[in-house]
Structure 1
Amino acid sequence: MTNTGNITRPPKAMIEALKEIGAATVAGTLGHMGYRNPHMVGPVAQNRGRSIVGPALTLQFLPQRPDLFSEGEYADPETQLHRHVLYHAQEGDVVVVDARGDMSSGVFGDMMSTYFKGRGGAGIVIDGCMRDRPNVEKLDLPLWLRGWTPNYHVQTSIYPNAVNVPIACGGVTVIPGDIIVADDDGVVVLPVAMAQAVIDEAQKHHEWEEFSRIKLMEGAPLQRYYPLHPDANGEYEAWKKANGKS
């Protein structure tokens, strides 16, 4: 089993800027930049209306194999590797778990989640399940999961193998320190190297979309206002000036 240590976190100003941008806009912008599918398929929002942005701490599970894993090793809690990803947690971090889409293993439960929230963690994303749903829901900790189970994490067929290594979660590669953007639309993985370009493009997109939404609500032609036709640029610039956005 592997525990590679801490991650490199992106600048806080970058995280704050991304909080103004939804997962759909990030995904669409990345798509135009050549990253076609940054969206995790499988984990879905468990707390409607919540959104998070933060760097990824990663946890990898593998299928159990008798020569590599024995539950008897867990007599010492500190050999439970899934605890160790939480030990790295700082305020604003997101724990991302490749649980192989397993629906019978509860990766974390009530007490682990309480500890993570107490550390200031932003949220948890699991390609798999959690347990202790009634108590975990009381924490109001933002979660994106496949579902819930009463089983504990190594009760059936998988075991934690590595902390803060590259993983696949929901069909997307996640590198420790990648920026996770998650809301009701789902979870998007944003490489730090692409983040500033996404912010710059998304801010421009947000402004003209705000103008276009107003025009469309007035019954104006879709062909002219979405996407914004070059012939409407004069109107858009006048709207920006009138609303102090220029």
Structure 2
Amino acid sequence: MSSGIEQAPVAPVWDLPVRGENPPAPDPGLVSRLSEIGSATACARLHGQGIRRTFVDGPTSMFPGKKVVGRALTLQFMPQREDIADGQTQEYIERSTALWAVLDEVQPGDVLVVQAYGSHTTGCFGDMLVRYFKLRGGAGIVVDGRIRDVPRVSQLDVPIWSTGATPHYASQSELFPWAYNVPVAVGGVLTLPGDLVVADDDGAVVVPRRRAEAVVEAAAEHDAWEKFSRRRIDEGAPLRDYYPLTEKTRLEYERWRAQNPAQNPAQNPAQNPAQNGHAAAGD
């Protein structure tokens, strides 16, 4: 029998989804120049600048041969806690979570970077979500977790780096879509909204937004001396003298470059790998 006293609704423990501010739009010219650099080159040049944790460890290309460079849009999964959020109400609850919300923030060229703790039982995206992501203009997805509906997703031609496949939907197991446009930890790498991502068959690398210009410039210089070194090695010179350059062979390189101004990336943009489609070889 009812007591006739209405029970007050239970106040939510935490307002979800948690959302950060939209990251600034990237400079299209910078993205274009960075797009000609491979992930290995970006990783090496950042390492030379003292930024050592940039490789997203775990996710690999689901569709080899694909490459993507773009602004990082972030999504964070968190462990389920039943008094806040769980998957017991089936996947329909997901439409009010950060998973749906972040997709409405996608701008053309964005790379969605997802923190999912390497979970084997969390299918962060499937056919419908990837399809919508593509229609919004998304360029690619890097997820430290898994993907479902792989046969259908493979037909959408969206580059994806993940830890594999699973039949589960996103909140079916241990995680719940929690926040977007917030800092995330993906494969051991801190990724901030608005950072740039370079991903190819060597893996995904996060380029801090304020370091991207320096990475492009360093890659151009690296490409120039590697071109010189390849020439000398092909002529029979010892590898140890020309890769990397020694103090002596660097002087030789500088003389060669002075005599061949067309090989100077600063004077001849056509020789800049960030502008002509030839990425510098990785270390």
TM value normalised by structure 1? 0.93
CA contact (8 A) 1:73 1:79 kept: no
Mapping for residues 1-246 of structure 1, pairs under 5 Å: 1=16, 2-71=18-87, 72=89, 75=92, 78-228=95-245, 229-233=249-253, 234-241=255-262
| Partner amino acid, structure 2, of 1:103 | H
Q: Which moved more, 1:64-73 or 1:108-117?
A: 64-73
Identical counterparts, % of pairs? 43
3-state DSSP class of the match of 1:148? Answer: coil
Question: RMSD across aligned C-alpha pairs, in angstroms?
Answer: 2.0
| Whole-angstrom distance in 1 between the partners of 2:179 and 2:127 | 22
TM value normalised by structure 2? 0.81
3-state DSSP class of the match of 2:101? Answer: helix
For residues 160-213 of structure 1, the C-alpha deviation after alignment (integer angstroms, 9 at most, x for no partner) is 110110010000001101101111111111111111111111111112212322
Deviation at 1:141, TM superposition (A): 0.7
For residues 37-90 of structure 1, the C-alpha deviation after alignment (integer angstroms, 9 at most, x for no partner) is 211111111121211111111110111111111333864553132111111111
| Whole-angstrom distance in 2 between the partners of 1:237 and 1:110 | 55
CA contact (8 A) 2:76 2:182 kept: yes
Match of 2:273 in 1: none
3-state DSSP class of the match of 2:31? Answer: helix
Query: How many equivalent residue pairs?
Result: 246
3-state DSSP class of the match of 1:224? Answer: helix
CA contact (8 A) 1:166 1:173 kept: yes
CA contact (8 A) 1:105 1:155 kept: yes
| Whole-angstrom distance in 1 between the partners of 2:66 and 2:226 | 22
Deviation above 6 Å: which 4+ runs of structure 1? Answer: 242-245
Q: Which moved more, 1:107-116 or 1:3-12?
A: 3-12
Deviation at 1:237, TM superposition (A): 3.9
| Whole-angstrom distance in 2 between the partners of 1:171 and 1:225 | 34
| Whole-angstrom distance in 2 between the partners of 1:132 and 1:73 | 17
| Whole-angstrom distance in 1 between the partners of 2:135 and 2:100 | 14
CA separation of 1:25 and 1:119: change in aligned 2, threshold 3 A: same
| Whole-angstrom distance in 1 between the partners of 2:235 and 2:145 | 44
| Partner amino acid, structure 1, of 2:155 | K
CA separation of 1:129 and 1:204: change in aligned 2, threshold 3 A: same
| Whole-angstrom distance in 2 between the partners of 1:82 and 1:6 | 15
What stretches of structure 1 of length at least 5 have no aligned partner? none
| Partner amino acid, structure 1, of 2:19 | N
What stretches of structure 2 of length at least 5 have no aligned partner? 1-15, 269-283
Deviation at 1:238, TM superposition (A): 3.4
| Whole-angstrom distance in 1 between the partners of 2:110 and 2:178 | 20
| Whole-angstrom distance in 1 between the partners of 2:161 and 2:94 | 26
3-state DSSP class of the match of 2:151? Answer: helix
